[in-house]
Each structure stands twice: as C-alpha cells, then as structure tokens.
Amino acid sequence: MSNQWVEVCHVDDIDEEDVIRFDHEQKTYAVYRSHNSEYFATDGLCTHERIHLADGLVMDFVIECPKHNGRFDYRNGKALNAPACVNLKTYPVKVEAGMVLLDTQGQGAA
Amino acid sequence: MSQIFLDPDRYDPQRAKDYSLTGEQAQRAEEAGLVSAVWYQCPVPRKRMKELMQRNDGRAIRDTAIWLGAMILSGWGGYVFWGSAACVPFFLVYGLLYGTAANSRWHETGHGTAFKTRWMNDVVYQIACFMVMYEPQVWRWSHARHHTDTIIVGRDPEIVEPRPPRLNMMLLKLLSLPHVYTIFKSLFLHATGQMSAEEKTFVPESEYPKVYRTARIWLALHAAVIALALYLNSWLPMMYVLLPTMYGGWLSYVFGLTQHVGLAEDELDHRKNCRTIYMNPVFRFFYSDMNYHLEHHMFPMVPYHALAKLHEEIKDDCPPPYKSIVQAYREIIPTLLKQRKDPTYYIKRPIRESASQAAATPEHGPVERETPEPRQSAFN
C-alpha cells in the first residue's frame, strides 16, 4: 500500500511529553511528542473501551488512558497493563519544514 | 469504589429492577444507549489537567508508611495487652487501618494513580486487596466496569444498595458479613477453576488462570491462620488476619454508602450520581480523599492527593458539596427509608441549566484544550 502522508500540525503545537487528537477521514489518531521531542502516532482510541487517548497522560514513552488507566507504549503500541490487553496500531510520523506529518496508510513499529 | 461485590441481595426477583449483570435489565441498558456511553465532563484546560494528573511517589510513600507503621504499632499494643480490656482500643485502631484504610488503598493503587512507580502500586494493591478480601484480578475488572457504567442497573457490578434497600442486610454489611460469606464462596469456586456467569461478563478469559491461582493462595493463607489459631487455642492470630476485615470494615461501609446511594440510577452525568463531601483530615487519610468522589469519577486519572485541587477547578459546574458526612447522612437515611416504600424515589442534585445542556450533546475528548481540538486534517 502506498504512503499517504497528511499534515497534522506544527511541531510546536504539541508540548513535550504530551499528545493531541487528530481526526482524518472518519478516523481518529493520537499524535505524541516525547520528552526528547520525537514524534509518534497511534490509533486515537483505547483498545479497551474506545476512549480518546489524547485526554490521557503521557509519561516517558507511555500513554495512560484517561478512563481506566490502561497503559500503552506509544512507540510500538504495546499494551502494558490491564485493562488494556490489545495492542494499539501505530503509524509512521515524520517532521518536514517544521510540520508533523502522519502516514495514514503506513505501518509503524507494531 | 464500593463495599459489597456480587451481593446475593441483588438477585431478588421481587425487585422492580433486576440488578444482576446477566438479566433483562442489562439488555435494556444496552438498548437505551447507557452502555459504554459518553459522560459529561466539566471543562478543565488541558494544561491544568496535565498538572493535576501528575503522579508523586513521595506523597504515597509517606501515607503508606504512616498506614503500615500505625498498623504495626497498634498490632503490637494489641498483642501486649491481649487478654485485658486494654487491648480493645489497639485492635479498634488496627481494625480500622486493616478493614477501612486498606479499602481506599486497593482502590487508588488499582487505578495506578497513588504512586508514580508502577511496581509500588502493584505491591500495595495486592496487600490491600488481601486485607479487604477483594480478589485482585476480579476487582480490577469489576471496577473498570463501575467506571464505564457507573450506577447503570444491569451493568455496574458495584451498586452498593439496590432499591428497595433492606435495612437488616445493611446492618450485616456494617460487619462485612455478606461480603465475607460471598467472597469465600467465590474463592472456593475460583480455586476449583471456575468463574461465575456474572464475572464472565466483565473479566476477560485471559485473566482466569490468575484468578484461580490467587484464590488458591488466599485460601491457603487463611487456612494457615485458622490452623495457627486452633494450634494456639487462641483467637489472637485471627485478630490480625480475617477478623479485622469484619470488625474494622464498618467505617469503610459508612464512607461507601455516601458515594452513590440515594442518587440517580441510569444517568450519564456523574454530577447526578456521585457525592462530594468535605471531611476532616483523619477521615480523608483513612479514605484517601475519596470524599471527592464526583471528581474522582469524572477524572479517574487524577491522583487522590490532587482531588481537592480538582474540586476547586470544577466546583462551580457541580452541585454544592456536602459540608460534612453528617449532612450527607441527613439526606441518605430519609431517602433509604422512602425508597423502602417507593423504589423509584431518588435525590435530584441541582445542576446548572447550561451545564445540563452541554451534557446532552457530549463528544469524546471534552477536556478543553489550549489549542483547537481535535485537529482536523486539511485533506478531509
């Protein structure tokens, strides 16, 4: 499948160690900026109860769901503890000309 | 958080509503759109919410050290004065630390918000679960359901008092007798490698082996304590394990009743089904600040030590808090008495009109952000 890079936001629109919600073509994503300013993206909804992860807490490379505190490693989507049991899908992200781009058709580390 | 789990009192066919998780009310809740629904959240700026969500090992370590240290001291006093009336106050304190303070500890560490360090949450969770006899895997999942479908009849496994309430049963619950009876039945069931039909509705199959293993370990531990008591021909060992769940759990039940009892069922707004009550520092220590229960349900990510600050952020959009636990019970007791005759009666909490309208059209991701949210693709 060919890449489909879409523009998400300016690099500074996401604080360090934070996450934003990004909606595109009926799908919602969570786009992360780590504490060392690396960018990552996953599906936007928790695999446990379809809660938006963008309202959760980013700690190091972990996103914690705001409703039931399920945790994922947002670099590879791995579910780290109950009630999150199913991994998140991840997506490639790159930065070009100060903008964060997300490949909606790509497959990340997971 | 609640006190009684899978209470046999819930399964009375004479009740107007079926409070079980496998009955027709579960189907009705689904049809009414009450299952895994979107709940109202008061607007809080994202930056402030991030501050409030931050974890802190120091505060939880301090509180845990006080809690366990006080248990050691009171337990030692009980041992020294065993056989005389002087042991009573020591065991009274020990029991409250074991049967009541542990109740809020399993809860907070179960959410993973008490400590910043994950393993510390896990260790305290296991210890506190054992003290209050809440099977750790089952309760982790039942509590997740409680937060998803709070006081939704047929969905929430932690509704403390089904309507109409039964006062004789409530008196027994003060001593945790129905809970201990139910939990031993459950432990024996799990130890033989079986789950109940209700549990299967919210515990994933992958967790079953852990449930079975824990049940066997717990039964062995309790059997060892009972055997020691028999060997010594003394109640003393059981004063430290098992019995304090019963003689020290009454305050936890008193706290637990204030959380939701008498308020609305089947509503998607925590302001209508949760109470926030101002309490003194001693009660707040025993209760891990769960007196800010509305705040906890609306934003479960906020640690207990930040709930008072969260309360200040959202209180103008919430019903007025109760000034004391006495004020709360002045409302709860007459309500329970009325509900014995009219199970449809409940307390309607005052909510501002504008906020109610917002609740009627909720969206995912309602926390107000400083940047427009959500981001929309330019290519939509």
| Residue B299 covered by a domain | yes
Q: Is A8 on the interface with B (CB under 8 A)?
A: yes
pLDDT the model gives residue B354 = 54
pLDDT band at residue B380, thresholds of 50, 70 and 90?
very low
Domain that holds residue A93: 5-103
| Residue A44 covered by a domain | yes
| Residue B283 covered by a domain | yes
| Residue B320 covered by a domain | yes
Contact B373 A52 (CB under 8 A): no
CATH label of the domain that carries residue A90: 2.102.10.10
What 3-state DSSP class applies to B292?
Answer: strand
| Residue A110 covered by a domain | no
Q: What's the pLDDT tens digit per position in B302-351?
A: 999 999 999 999 999 999 999 999 999 999 999 999 999 999 999 999 99
Query: In chain A, what residues touch B374 (CB-CB under 8 Å)?
Result: 20-23, 28, 54
Q: What's the pLDDT tens digit per position in B251-281?
A: 999 999 999 999 999 999 999 999 999 999 9
Structure tokens at B110: 């179960």
Domain that holds residue B214: 8-360
Contact A22 B371 (CB under 8 A): no
Which residues sit opposite A5 in a β-bridge? A103
Q: What's the pLDDT tens digit per position in A65-107?
A: 999 989 999 999 999 988 888 999 999 999 999 999 999 988 7
pLDDT the model gives residue A49 = 86
| Residue B378 covered by a domain | no
Measured distance CA(B301)–CA(B112) in Å, rounded: 9
* Nearest one of B65, B84, B182, B167 to B124, comparing CA atoms: B65
Q: Which of A23, A52, A83 sits opposite B377 (nearest CB)?
A: A23
Total number of domains in chain A: 1
| Residue B139 covered by a domain | yes
Work out the minimum CA distance from A8 to partner chain B, whole angstroms: 6
Average pLDDT over residues B359-373: 40
For residues A70 and A79, is the Cβ–Cβ distance under 8 A?
yes
- For residue B369, is pLDDT > 60? no
pTM, whole model, 2 decimals? 0.88
Query: In chain B, what residues touch A3 (CB-CB under 8 Å)?
Result: none
**A59 φ, ψ to 5°?**
-130, 115
Contact A21 B373 (CB under 8 A): yes
Q: Side-chain half-sphere of B151: how many Cα atoms within 13 Å?
A: 28
Q: Which of A23, A82, A85 sits opposite B374 (nearest CB)?
A: A23
Contact B53 A57 (CB under 8 A): yes
pLDDT band at residue B6, thresholds of 50, 70 and 90?
very low
| Residue B30 covered by a domain | yes
Total number of domains in chain B: 1
| Candidates A68, A86, A93, A99, partner chain B, best to mutate (most B CBs within 10 A) | A68
Measured distance CA(A28)–CA(B374) in Å, rounded: 9
* Nearest one of A44, A42, A53, A54 to A107, comparing CA atoms: A42
Structure tokens at A36: 């060392």
What mean pLDDT value characterizes chain B?
A: 90
| Residue B380 covered by a domain | no
